[in-house]
Amino acid sequence: MPRLPEAIAAILAWAKSRPDIAGLALVGSHARGAARPQSDVDFLLLTATPDAFRADWLAEIAWPEPPTASRDAQYGIVWSRHVAFATLPEAELAFAPLAWAALPLDPGTRRVVSDGFLVLHDPAGHFAKIRAALEPDGSAG
């Protein structure tokens, strides 16, 4: 998928332009290097205001190709927007409140982080705290 890096770069540039995004991570199979051609690309965005992103922001991202459809899903305190494209794999952008990254880690956060977690943007250091807590001498709880 030669255009996948372009899509990741576009989301990263968008996240960095938003002061209300406290962190961006690639999660799941792409983060752990086990993605298959049909795998979607999963992102986790940490923000104090996840519900503010329920509005239409897809046009703010300089996608390599225009989205063809989107749908939302709710996973406990995290909600996500699944974005479909004609030739790119589906992108899932999950919006989590800052509490998602609080220590000690809850089982859901621990599962996501343990299943592939590549930090792309962490200006407030929330993801760095998670990483430190997961070290053998950390206190992830």
Region 48-64: mean pLDDT is 94
- What structural domains and CATH numbers belong to the chain? 4-134 (3.30.460.10)
Q: Which of 74, 123, 138, 127 is nearest to 100 (CA)?
A: 127
Percent pLDDT > 90 in the chain is 67
Top mean pLDDT of 28-37, 71-80, 110-119 is at 71-80
Whether the model clears a pTM of 0.85, i.e. scores above it, the answer is yes
Tell me, what's the pLDDT at 43? Answer: 97
Side-by-side strand order, sheet with 41-47: 69-75, 78-84, 91-97, 41-47, 23-27, 117-121
The half-sphere exposure of 28 on its side-chain side, counting CA atoms within 13 A, is 12
Peptide bond preceding 136: is omega within 30 degrees of 0, i.e. cis? no
Give per-residue pLDDT as tens, 4-24.
889 899 999 999 999 999 999
Give per-residue pLDDT as tens, 111-132.
888 888 999 999 999 999 998 8
Q: Is the pLDDT of residue 65 over 70?
A: yes
